Structures are given as structure tokens and as C-alpha cells.
């Protein structure tokens, strides 16, 4: 089978389903439930990211005049969506930073070295959600803790639901796009060089991008 026909997923232990009386702290109880699309309500359950059809990536301004893009190839995931009370939805993502790929070997080697990710000492980047809010329509805000180089700080992902389908191989599949922008220096990624004309070689602002195709996972027994 080719890459477009195989089911390939890498998973963490399934996340527990949250009961209806235990929303994440700071969420709005479930007031948005009445406006949730029936298709979204049908997505309740456990999901896992289908890596060949997904992308965990980033973009950053380089030398003030262009944008460099990259992605991580090696990661594990656990997703749970509560279609009745979206505030109980959750996600966990563990990324092996040594799998970074920007298309330039020398740049990738620099990124995994001590100036940036320091993959030998800090091999993983981790996101764990802490709350999910349905903003209306097919848009959600998922807050969580992002850990890079053993520094953990809060972030918010803006998520857009793209739809769901039963694919030709019998797998129930759903899609989300997510984005957030972080200041990398807040996680200890402080390396830079000044430019003669002003500014820096690498922007401190990094846009993280999550293009997710997920397959419904086995329910925990």
C-alpha cells in the first residue's frame, strides 16, 4: 500500500473522558452547547492524529525579509472531543524535536543544537490542554501548557473544524487547523545575531501551525 492508503497513527494512552459535571477550570460550563453543529456533536470520543496526512509546523521571519518554514515528523498524540460539552475536550501532543525539518540540513542541525532546542538535553516539546471554549460556529479556543527546554508556559490555540468523513478504507476521519504565535525567548530559545541595517537574523515571534487529520481511535475498555 502507498502512503495515501495506509492508516499510520502514533498514540499516547487515551485521555479519560471528562464527566459532564467536571469542566476544566475557567470554562463557561456549556453555554455554547445549544449552538454546536450536529456534525460536531457526533464527533464525541477519542481520536489520534494520522501523521502522513497531518503537519505540525512553524514559520519564522529570517533576516527581516523572508519566512522560513519547518515541521516536525516524529510525535505522539492523544485527543478527546466531547460533542455535548466541548469545554471537556482535551488534547496532548509530544513532539521529538530532533525530527525538525526545514529543508536545509545545516539549519536543522543548528536548531537541534544548544542554541535552540538542545535536543540532547531536552528531546521533547509537549503541549497539554487545560481548557477548551467553543467560540461559535466551527471555531474553538484551546488553552494549554507548552513545554520547551523544560520551560512550561501557557498558550492559546485557535482551532477551526474542517469537517469529517468516512474515508474509502473505512476510517472515520476529521480535520482541524490550529494556530498560535509565541515569543520563543520566553522558552529559553534566545539565540540571535544583529543585522548591520538593524533588526535581528531570526524573529523572536514564531507561528505554530497544526494541520490535523485525525482518525477515530479505539475506545478504552
> Across the strands, what pairs with 84?
none
What secondary structure letter does DSSP report for 54?
-
Q: What is the pTM of this model?
A: 0.81
For residue 33, pLDDT beyond 80: no
Tell me which of 220 and 180 has the higher pLDDT. Answer: 180
| 202-216 and 172-183 beta bridge pairing | antiparallel
pLDDT at 12: 57
Average the pLDDT over 215-220 and give the result: 71
> Across the strands, what pairs with 217?
none
Distance (Å) of CA 202 to CA 11, 65, 66, 195: 33, 10, 10, 10
Average the pLDDT over 162-191 and give the result: 93
* Domains annotated on the chain, with CATH: 38-216 (2.40.128.110)
Q: pLDDT tens for residues 96-131?
A: 999 999 999 999 999 999 999 999 999 999 999 999
Q: pLDDT tens for residues 190-208?
A: 887 776 665 667 888 999 9
Radius of gyration, CA atoms only, the chain: 18
* Mean pLDDT, rounded, of the chain: 83
Q: pLDDT tens for residues 59-74?
A: 998 867 789 999 999 9
Q: Exposed, middle or buried by CB within 10 Å (0-12, 13-18, 19+), for 74? A: middle
pLDDT at 214: 95
Instruction: Say which residue the cell 540532547 belongs to.
Output: 120
Q: Exposed, middle or buried by CB within 10 Å (0-12, 13-18, 19+), for 189? A: buried
Average the pLDDT over 13-31 and give the result: 42
pLDDT at 160: 96
Dihedral sign for Cα atoms in the order 152, 47, 10, 161: negative
pLDDT at 36: 65
Distance CA 207, CA 183 (A): 9
Distance CA 85, CA 74 (A): 31
30 in Cβ contact with 138 (< 8 Å): no
Amino acid at each position: 500500500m502507498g502512503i495515501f492508503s495506509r492508516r499510520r497513527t502514533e498514540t499516547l494512552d487515551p485521555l479519560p473522558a471528562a464527566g459532564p459535571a467536571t469542566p476544566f477550570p475557567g470554562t463557561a460550563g456549556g453555554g455554547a452547547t445549544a449552538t454546536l453543529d450536529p456534525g460536531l456533536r457526533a464527533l464525541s470520543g477519542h481520536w489520534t492524529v494520522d501523521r502522513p496526512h497531518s503537519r505540525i509546523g512553524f514559520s519564522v521571519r529570517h533576516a527581516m525579509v523572508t519566512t522560513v518554514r519547518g515541521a516536525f515528523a516524529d510525535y505522539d498524540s492523544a485527543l478527546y472531543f466531547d460533542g455535548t460539552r466541548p469545554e471537556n475536550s482535551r488534547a496532548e501532543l509530544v513532539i521529538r524535536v530532533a525530527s525538525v525539518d526545514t529543508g536545509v540540513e545545516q539549519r536543522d542541525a543548528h536548531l537541534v543544537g544548544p542554541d535552540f532546542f538542545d535536543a540532547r538535553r531536552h528531546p521533547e516539546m509537549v503541549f497539554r490542554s487545560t481548557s477548551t471554549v467553543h467560540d461559535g460556529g466551527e471555531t474553538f479556543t484551546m488553552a494549554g501548557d507548552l513545554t520547551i527546554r523544560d520551560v512550561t508556559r501557557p498558550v492559546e490555540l485557535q482551532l477551526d473544524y474542517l469537517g469529517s468523513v468516512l474515508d474509502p478504507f473505512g476510517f472515520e476521519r476529521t480535520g482541524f487547523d490550529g494556530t498560535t504565535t509565541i515569543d520563543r525567548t520566553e522558552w529559553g530559545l534566545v539565540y540571535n545575531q544583529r543585522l548591520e541595517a538593524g533588526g535581528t537574523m531570526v524573529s523572536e515571534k514564531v507561528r505554530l501551525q497544526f494541520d490535523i487529520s485525525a482518525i477515530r481511535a479505539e475506545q478504552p475498555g
